[in-house]
Amino acid sequence: MGRIFETRKATMFKRWNTMAKAFTRVSKEIAIAVKSGGPSPESNPSLRRAIQNARAVNMPKDKVEAAIKRASGQDQKAYDVVLYEGYAPHGVAVLVETATDNVVRTVANVRMHFKDWGGNMGNAGSVAFAFKRMGVFRLLPEGLDQEALEFELIDHGLEELGEGTGEKGEKQLIIRCAFADFGKLQAAIEARGLSPVSSESEYIPQTPMELPEEKAQEVLKMVDALEQDEDVQRVFHNLA
């Protein structure tokens, strides 16, 4: 009985930790968006995207409003978005997107995670060539004519349209465009009265790398350690 309790406790703690990390990431997105474009979602597309992403991780409305209010204050921290590159074990390429108010602390922590898990942190440009930065919109497919939507959006930058699943296993429609067309495609989607589940820029690996399960787990342990760092927003890799 005690062992079952401890297992449940560990599972609940992990779930809570994941949720807390997601809220922190989205709060930083909101702060960056407000600082760059103001506190009004109507006139700030970046803030609209951040709010959508907050809904996607079930962040309560009052916490979203509080994050916007904090970001509007003069004492709000200014975050720099910095991208770090390197290799995980077995040559897997890794990009680490951070949002930090202390670059010295962040680069030291990221380098430590690479080293501790058998990877190597590289210089700018060392692995970025293996990824393509794209705008990614996720929508619920119910009631949508995918073929018609693809035809309508192709003139607004759409490059790829396919199906996928969300974190809860729900079906999603995934729309991708070149990052340069992010704003144009967002406007086209919104003009059709569609509200994405989430909308973000992502680094898509151009050549996914296959590894045996045991080696893949070594890579994923390093990825997990990076994702738990308070300054890390997202981690991208080319592990298939």
169: amino acid identity, one letter: G
**pLDDT, tens digit (0-9, with 9 covering 90-100), for 184-211:** 999 999 999 999 999 999 999 999 999 9
What pLDDT score was predicted for residue 178?
A: 97
Question: In which residue ranges of the chain is pLDDT below 70?
Answer: 1-14
What CATH number does the domain located at 80-129+206-237 have? 3.30.70.980
Looking at CATH, the fold of the domain delimited by 2-72 is given as Arc Repressor Mutant, subunit A (1.10.10)
End-to-end Cα, the chain, rounded Å: 39
Query: Do the domains 130-203 and 80-129+206-237 match in fold?
Result: yes
Phi (first) and psi of residue 99, to 5 degrees:
-130, 110
Convert 168-195 to b/e letters by CB count within 10 Å (16 or more is b).
eeeebbbbbbebebbebbbebbeeeebe
What CATH number does the domain located at 130-203 have? 3.30.70.980
The structure's pTM equals 0.88
What pLDDT score was predicted for residue 168?
A: 78
What pLDDT score was predicted for residue 169?
A: 84
